[in-house]
Amino acid sequence: MTSLNIIKSINAGLRRSMENDHKVLIMGEDVGKLGGVFRVTDGLQKDFGEDRVIDTPLAESGIIGTAVGLALRGYRPVCEIQFDGFVFPGYDQIVSQVAKMHFRSGGRLRLPIVIRIPYGGGIGAVEHHAESPEAYFVHTPGLKVVSCANPEDAYWMIQQAIESDDPVMFFEPKRRYYEKAEFELDGSPPLPLHTSRVVQQGTDATVVAYGPMVKTCLEAAAAATEDNRSLEVIDLRSLSPLDLDPVYESVRRTGRLVVVHEAQRTLGVGAEVAARVTEECFYSLEAPVVRVTGYDTPYPPARVEDDYLPDLDRVLDGVDRALTY
């Protein structure tokens, strides 16, 4: 067993992918000598060289556009976007080229590109450094979208994303970057990439989350036991495609669902989960699906971000609404 935090887990996963496939490249701003703004790529340029770990100009559109050309030539580029709010200069390349090339070419061309994005709030960052833009990409056909929530998933999911022949948006919960866990580095991935997981079993209500909110929901589940409430917590892991069969199975037993995410509420991932569960589990639901989310405002200044982010109390309030309906 090895104890790693999420940063070192992704680093180890990138290293293993580069060892296994010489076509895997890393590119981004300061990913080489500096090792990335969060040091996720620390030491990789030293060991694999400047031709495989490439420092780029500060131009996200250029990073993604260059990755498109490299992927068409048989490479598997992994692009680092330094912070969530910086992805938008590259948004046109992602939705117009990365997402559509396979369909546009009638299936003849594939773009095995991974775009890593540290996302979400909770670190006291300034404007453009604490956003949750995942729904923009979930809404774009042609892209796969995933988010890890713990070191073991970070290690395996980054390797699975790189092995995918489809473009994958890889969202990393930066507020959880330094949290550690023990797991085996060898062997096989415990789950396929696009699979959700029940991380805690319960009987009274189902709580669904992903990325940074998984830990918050587990803390809420622990607190709920003091009131003799048993919450089942499910980590979606993959946002596109969604694996909702475990959610349906859970809701058919509990009759109640609370969906939690940091991103804005309107037309977010929670809205899609609520709609599908209502369609599939209507006669099992004992209460309307409850969403606990960020607010429909731009992400606020750091001094008030605690008022914006869903916390343990807001999750428990959502559970109360579901259970007392």
Name the residues annotated as catalytic.
Answer: 129
Rounded Cα–Cα distance for residues 78 and 108 (Å) = 21
What is the amino acid identity at position 13?
Answer: G
Token digits of residue 99: 């997402």
Residue in 267, 268, 262 with CA at minimum distance from that of residue 308: 262
Instruction: Tell me the CA end-to-end span of the chain in Å, nearest whole number.
Output: 45
What is the amino acid identity at position 73?
Answer: R
Residue in 64, 57, 60, 51 with CA at minimum distance from that of residue 23: 51
Helices (H), 164-294: 213-224, 245-254, 269-281
Rounded Cα–Cα distance for residues 117 and 170 (Å) = 6
Residue in 83, 175, 81 with CA at minimum distance from that of residue 129: 83
Query: Cβ-count burial of 1 within 10 angstroms (0-12 exposed, 13-18 middle, 19+ buried)?
Result: exposed
